């Protein structure tokens, strides 16, 4: 691991903790996984993109971190449960779950096919449900856990051609709150991070157009598009004991973009 010379440095926040990050092959998930390793967590990562997972694994191991890697289709309960079992067999416990895996949708509502609805809801909601349900027994037994779900500002504001995406992220936001209530009495924190416009694989085609990128920048009070690291910073904060009294909430990380959509 990298050395820490500053007495205020937080590079040991997750020493001996076990963190699982879904959708860790790129973007926000990769940034979160690498940061957990940098702060001395043992990391389990999954995705359907095996090439990207290997890249993330290499970054983690370059930091001296320990990493479990597995290809997982989060829409399939048996694959999710098998991965949780593998994490527990390898590391003995699970302290932190980051449900980052997700997909987008840009089809006007009148033209949405059943298959598109199922795809978006299965990836953005069902996968989160499967992972939370599979992880909670261990966290409840340990009387300790941190769950952070990645939602979106689109959980509370509508986007053109994104009706099903809106519905999925709104469901993810409420699932977060519902789980938070249901684990009352346990030392488990359940929260969400709601990104605004972030430069990731889902947005690179749109933001690769300078005019489109400028259109968004003009509507973001901070006057820039977020990088995955901006979101990872918030995820790690909510995963830390510094956020021990934050529970059942969504932290919007959007450069103030949601303020312009009221």
Cβ–Cβ < 8 Å for 149, 191: yes
What region does 227 belong to: left with phi over 0, alpha with psi -120 to 50, or beta?
beta
DSSP the chain: ------TT--TTTTTT-EEEEESTTSHHHHHHHHHHHHTT-EEEEEES-HHHHHHHHHHHHHTT--EEEEE--TT-HHHHHHHHHHHHHHHS---EEEE---------GGG--HHHHHHHHIIIIIHHHHHHHHHHHHHHHHT-EEEEEE--GGGTS--TT-HHHHHHHHHHHHHHHHHHHHTTTSSEEEEEEEE-SB-STTTHHHHTSHHHHHHHHHTSTT-SPBPHHHHHHHHHHHHSGGGTT--S-EEEESTTGGGGG-
Q: Which residue among 130, 165, 186, 245 is the active-site one?
A: 165
144 counts as catalytic: no
Nearest-angstrom CA–CA distance, 186 and 104: 34
Q: Which residues are catalytic?
A: 165
């Amino acid at each position: 691991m990298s050395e820490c010379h500053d007495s205020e440095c937080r590079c040991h926040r997750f020493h001996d903790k076990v963190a699982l990050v879904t959708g860790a092959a790129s973007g926000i998930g990769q940034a979160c996984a690498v940061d957990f390793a940098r702060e001395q967590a043992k990391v389990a990562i999954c995705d359907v993109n095996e090439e990207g997972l290997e890249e993330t694994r290499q970054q983690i191991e370059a930091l001296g971190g320990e990493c479990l890697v597995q290809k997982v289709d989060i829409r399939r309960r048996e694959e999710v449960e098998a991965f949780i079992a593998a994490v527990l067999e390898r590391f003995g416990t699970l302290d932190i779950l980051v449900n980052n895996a997700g997909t987008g949708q840009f089809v006007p509502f009148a033209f949405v096919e059943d298959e598109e609805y199922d795809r978006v809801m299965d990836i953005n909601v069902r996968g989160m449900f499967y992972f939370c349900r599979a992880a909670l027994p261990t966290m409840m037994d340990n009387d300790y856990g941190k769950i952070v779900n990645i939602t979106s500002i689109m959980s509370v504001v509508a986007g053109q051609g994104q009706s099903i995406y809106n519905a999925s992220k709104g469901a993810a936001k409420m699932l977060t709150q519902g789980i938070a209530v249901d684990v009352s009495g346990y030392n488990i924190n359940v929260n969400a991070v709601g990104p605004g416009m972030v430069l990731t694989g889902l947005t690179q085609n749109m933001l690769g157009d300078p005019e489109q990128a400028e259109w968004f920048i003009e509507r973001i009070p901070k006057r820039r598009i977020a990088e995955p690291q901006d979101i990872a910073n918030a995820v790690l904060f909510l995963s830390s004991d510094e956020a021990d009294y934050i529970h059942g909430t969504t932290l919007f990380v959007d450069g103030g973009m949601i303020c312009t959509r009221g």
